[in-house]
Amino acid sequence: MKPNFSIGEEDGEEATKPPPESSGDNPMRKSPIQCVFVFRRPVMLSDRIIKLMTGPFAHVDLYVHREEKPNDSPSLTTFMGEHFSMSVNMRKSYNSRDYEGLHLRLDPVESTKLFDYAIDLVERRVPYNLADLLYQPLKTVLPDSGFFEDVPNESSLQVKKVFCSQAFVLALRNSLHNDELAGALIDESPIQRKKLLWRLISENSRLCTPSDLYHIIRPHCRRVDMDRLRHGHLSYT
């Protein structure tokens, strides 16, 4: 798995590469999948503190819906003090009161690459990035200060630690088409597709909160019925 774009150090121009073939024998990689980003509203005291500092959402998961076996559909994410992980039981806690799900329209290559990126974080047991999380309330001054450089694209496949929204910003950067195929297979204009990609590139992943990620992808998503998703049904509100 390699990134499908790179930014030149001198002129800032983008270079495209053909998407790599998926590898490995994980059965998820061979099944049609749909990617839903699940944003959690504050449910604990610590969540409410986060809301005051960074916005309405305290956490985000990637739910990967298996059309053939919805009951085996996993959620992937990371929690404070833990490694990046995957669970098929997390879906059972979803509900429309505490969670909001956004189904991001991806073509088969993009969805597979997104899942592969997240699986790699699980397999490498990447730990939680607590240090950068603590700087999020200061993001209004840090992005342009030169003090807080983002993860370079060429290093994003070997990232050493991530918090939840950071992981998915990096994963999406490495998954979306950035050429003439952009948006073609999901009936979205190439301009809109590239706009989403460049929003993700311009966002400092080390400071990106769940609420930031929500606002970046929301225009490109359908809102999911979380009560039905809890029972394995992907439908919309």
User: All domains of the chain, ordered by start, with CATH?
Assistant: 33-228 (3.90.1720.10)
User: With pLDDT > 70 as the criterion, what percentage of the chain qualifies?
Assistant: 74
Report in angstroms the alpha-carbon separations of 1 from 71, 195, 236: 27, 23, 31
pLDDT digits (tens, 9 = 90+) for 153-185: 888 889 999 999 999 999 999 999 766 555 555
- Mean of all residue pLDDT scores within the chain: 81
Q: Write down the pLDDT at residue 148.
A: 78
The mean pLDDT value for 54-66 works out to 91
pLDDT greater than 90 at residue 134: no
The mean pLDDT value for 183-201 works out to 78
Q: H-helix or E-strand containing 75?
A: strand 75-77
pTM recorded for the entire structure = 0.81
The mean pLDDT value for 6-23 works out to 35
Q: H-helix or E-strand containing 110?
A: helix 108-123
Q: Write down the pLDDT at residue 194.
A: 84
pLDDT greater than 50 at residue 24: no
Q: Chain-centre distance of CA 74, in angstroms?
A: 14
